[in-house]
Amino acid sequence: MRRAVKLLVALVVAASTQASAVPAWFPRDFSLAPAQPSAPLAKYLDTQRLAIEPSVHRMGVAWSGNKEIACHAWIPAQARGTIFLVHGYYNHSGTWSTHIQRWVAQNFAVVAFDLPGHGLSDGRWMDIDSVAEYSRTLQSVEDSMGCRVPLPWALVGHSLGGSVVLDRATRPAYPYAQSILLAPLIHYAGWTKIGIAHPFAGLVTDHFARSRKIGSSADSLFLRRLLEDPLEGWQTGLSWLRAIRSWNDRIDTAKWATSRWALLQGGIDATVDVSYQNQWFSSHFPGLQTLRYPAARHHLHNESAPEGNLVRAALDSILTSALPIGAK
């Protein structure tokens, strides 16, 4: 126990968790992306590689409670349906850019948004009090996009985004024909030790620093992009840790919405407790379509070749089956 406490307290930083807010230069009304964007908007789109062609690109704000949520929609001319994306902890919409480019080229419309406290969205930076706040945010995005993007809809969540997908699937009016979980977060690695240690850290701070020695992919270019990304998160909120644990206390008895469910998981994922999660999904999702990639890490869809190519091909195949051409 003492060792676990020392491990966590050593990572503690003195500053308080700051709040983030959607910047004034980000569009609010989902109008077409301007041909001549302001300098900050142009820099953001270029840095995050989100000016994706060929598509109609709309940007705007969805309100979730009193928070402004930064959203994007890319709609190709012959859109066959829409993929909604929920990013992982520390990440934001830009993390999906290479996949959005690929899916738009395959005639999928795509919606991406920044979770509260992530990217450009309002909220305490990398912190929240309840996973339900994330899933309510997804519902707000659905409401904002309902008349703007074509049916049918598919939902893809990575890591924390997988937790959000699962929580959303316990709530009414689940609108997704296909639901894909990419390395979803049920138990993070070190669950027991961190559970013992974080109440002690909470006596002196509200967050601790994230190590910059990241190994969530073997793709060095992808990892370098994360390290250089000004919107990537580098701290972990203690309230967030408590929220994940509280959510775990109730999901064992949850009932999930009807959808075509698929799980993709890397075999050398060091971010989630793969062994625990294998057992959990076997118990709670019998018959779940499960694809395992022995040489893939946590960002399995951003993994290097050849394993990453297999993941991306499988992901595209599942989406094409769920949103076939002519299915609008």
CATH of the domain at 106: 3.40.50.1820
Residue 165 lies in a domain: yes
Residue 36 lies in a domain: no
Cβ atoms 69, 113 nearer than 8 A: yes
Q: What is the pTM of this model?
A: 0.92
Q: Is residue 162 part of a domain?
A: yes
- Residue 302: C-alpha distances to residues 42, 83, 113, 174, 274 (Å): 25, 18, 19, 28, 18
- Give yes or no for a contact between 266 and 159, defined as CB atoms under 8 angstroms apart: no
The one-letter amino acid code at 69 reads I
Closest CA to 264 of 322, 303, 225: 303
Instruction: Give the pair of three-digit tokens for residue 193.
Output: 């030790």
- Compute φ and ψ for 85, nearest 5 degrees: -120, 135
List, in sequence order, every residue forming a beta bridge with 290; answer none if it has no partner.
263
Task: Please tell me the total count of domains within the chain.
Answer: 1
Joined together, the tokens standing for residue 145 give: 């996009």
User: Do residues 226 and 214 touch, judged by C-beta distance below 8 A?
Assistant: yes
Residue 205 within any structural domain of the chain: yes
Residue by residue, pLDDT tens for the chain (328 residues) are 344 333 333 333 333 446 778 999 999 999 888 888 999 999 999 999 999 999 999 999 999 999 999 999 999 999 999 999 999 999 999 999 999 999 999 999 999 999 999 999 999 999 999 999 999 999 999 999 989 999 999 999 999 999 999 999 999 999 999 999 999 999 999 888 877 776 766 656 778 899 999 999 999 999 999 999 999 999 999 999 999 999 999 999 999 999 999 999 999 999 999 999 999 999 999 889 999 999 999 999 999 999 999 999 999 999 999 988 755 5
Domain assignment present for residue 327? The answer is no
Structural domain boundaries, residue 260: 2-10+52-322
Residue 307 lies in a domain: yes
What is the radius of gyration, based on Cα positions, of the chain? 19
Residue 248 φ then ψ, to 5°: -60, -30
Residue 13 pLDDT: 33
| 38 domain-assigned | no
State the Cα–Cα distance between residues 190 and 200, nearest whole angstrom: 16
Any domain includes 41? no
pLDDT at 198: 66
Q: Measuring CA to CA, which residue among 8, 4, 23 is closest to residue 211?
A: 8
326: left (phi over 0), alpha (psi -120 to 50) or beta: left
Phi, psi (deg, nearest 5) at residue 198? -70, -25
Q: Provide the CA 266 distance to its chain's centre, in angstroms.
A: 16
Q: What pLDDT was estimated at residue 326? A: 59
